[in-house]
Amino acid sequence: MARITLDHIRHSYMPNPQGPEDYALKHLDLEWQDGGAYALLGPSGCGKSTLLNIISGLVAPSEGRILFDDADVTHLPPDQRNIAQVFQFPVIYDTMSVYDNLAFPLRNRGVDAGHVDARVREIAEMLEMSDMLGARASGLPSDSKQKLSMGRGLVRDDVNVIMFDEPLTVIDPHLKWKLRSKLKELHYRVRATMIYVTHDQTEALTFADQVVVMQEGEVVQIGTPIELFEAPAHTFVGHFIGSPGMNVLPCEVRDGGAFFNGVRVDAKGAAHAPSGADRLEIGVRPEFISFAEAGVPVEVTRVVDAGRYRVAEARAGDARINVLAREGQAIPEGVAHLAFDPEKTGVYADGWLVREG
């Protein structure tokens, strides 16, 4: 168990990186608290797997240091870092039984047989696999195989962090939620730090206490699921999390207020918008917009029924705005006016949220 610190980490897969675009990880300064459940969320190619491999020691960073508590482990190989990793595809040792698979990491470390047996049975119990300990691992269904590869991480009592690299990719949809809740339960029981890499927002938001959103080799926001939802620090987070994503509308800022299509919109941070920004936008989630008597004039073009809510697509000039209407709320046809919740509407300068004060 340990706190993990990433100290000014940069990484490039090229031997002589020139500009920032050559870096898979541009600049990372992060701290993972002991026992936390973290999700690393981002689109494919954003550098999240690279980051994971740097923590596990499979990749050495080009620059920077990794500390486990206060010990520098930057150049230690994976087996000396006391970490565990679960991969996209279940990695199991085909020729061994379930029992031997679970015992393998302990036996490699010379743990005595009595303790191995106790640990294997304890973990099998947790994973609900006690009745299949004697079975050949190769014959298991894929979700059991993935549980088994998690088990090989859990079985060691010296594990600092368990990392999951999109572990539900090959699992059937109806088993995904089962494994996900199992994972959450395991986190409560073993209290090891867990880092869960995914590009699926549902997985990230349901698993993690803290979500780290990455884009193009950079961390754009770290926060609880609620924070990511209510105050995205970057328009990318607004787009990426939520369905449909946040509306991002071009705006002007003058006299301390934001104007969209010439209409004044109350938005947090409008008074602090930097004057030198190339691009000013307001961001508001479809959930925080309602139809009103007065406000932003739009034309409703389409309504999509998503079951428990409906999404109205509206047009204002060139901009398109999604409005989410709960059950029972009326959606006007044709020309209408929209009101934005001023507490949940933010101003973004060059993509980044303008903070008040």
Partner 1 sequence: MVTKPDNLGAWFFVLPVVLLVAFNALVPLMTVVNYAFQETFGNNLFFWHGVGWFEDILRSERFHAALGRQLLFTGIILAIQIPLGVIIALTMPKKGVWVSVCLVLMALPLLIPWNVVGSMWNIFALPDIGMLGYTLNWLGFNYNMTQQPLSAWMTLIAMDVWHWTSLVALLAYAGLTSIPDAYYQAAKIDGARPWAIFRHIQLPKMKRVLTIAILLRFMDSFMVYTEPLILTGGGPGNSTTLLSIDLVKIALGQFDLGPAAAMSLIYFLITLLVSWLFYTVMTRHDNA
Strand partners, 337: 292, 297
Cα dihedral 138/144/145/148 (nearest 10):
-110
- Of 133-172, binders to partner 1 (CB under 8 A) are 136, 138-139, 149, 152-153
3-state secondary structure of 296: strand
Residue of the chain from 79, 252, 333, 356 that contacts partner 1 (CB under 8 A): 79
Token pair recorded at residue 89: 């595809």
Q: Are 338 and 295 in contact (CB under 8 A)?
A: yes
Could you give the residue ranges of the DSSP H alpha helices within 129-244? 142-154, 173-190, 201-207, 225-230, 235-240
Site size for partner 1, by CB under 8 A?
A: 26
Residue with smaller CB distance to partner 1, 96 or 175: 96
CA 248 – CA 349 distance, rounded (Å): 11
CA distance 163 to 52: 7
- Piece of 84-92, 192-200, 208-216, 308-316 that binds partner 1 (CB under 8 A): 84-92
Options 36, 105, 167, 283; binder of partner 1; rule CB under 8 A:
105
SS3 121: helix
DSSP category for residue 354: P
Cis preceding linkage at 43, omega within 30 = no
The H or E element containing residue 247 is strand 247-250
Is 60 near partner 1 (CB under 8 A)?
no
Binding mask 223-262 for partner 1 (x = CB under 8 A): ----------------------------------------
Q: CB of 199 within 8 A of CB of 188?
A: no
Q: At closest approach, how far in Å is the CB of 23 from partner 1?
A: 22
Enumerate residues 6+ apart whose C-beta is below 8 A from 271.
256, 257, 356
The verdict on 84 binding partner 1 (CB under 8 A) reads yes
Query: DSSP letter at 61?
Result: -
Cβ at position 42, least distance to partner 1 in Å: 20
111 binds partner 1 (CB under 8 A): no
Smaller CB separation from partner 1, 87 or 177? 87
Find the shortest distance in angstroms from Cβ 162 to partner 1. 10
**Which one among 49, 85, 146, 235 touches partner 1, defined by CB under 8 A?**
85
Closer CB to partner 1, residue 68 or residue 260? Answer: 68
Residue 75 found at the interface with partner 1 (CB under 8 A) = no
Smallest distance, Å, CB 51 to partner 1?
15
- The CB-of-94 to partner 1 minimum distance in angstroms stands at 5
Binding of residue 95 to partner 1 (CB under 8 A) = yes
Residue nearer to partner 1 on the CB measure, 81 or 234: 81
Mark the segment that binds partner 1 (CB under 8 A) among 74-82, 197-205, 225-233, 313-321.
74-82
What is the Cα–Cα distance from 50 to 114, expressed in whole angstroms? 38
Distance CA 174, CA 247 (A): 32
| 76 vs 311, beta carbon nearer partner 1 | 76
Q: 170: which 2 tokens?
A: 């090959």
Q: Residue numbers of the site for partner 1 (CB under 8 A)?
A: 56, 58, 77-79, 83-85, 87-89, 91, 93-96, 104-105, 108-109, 136, 138-139, 149, 152-153
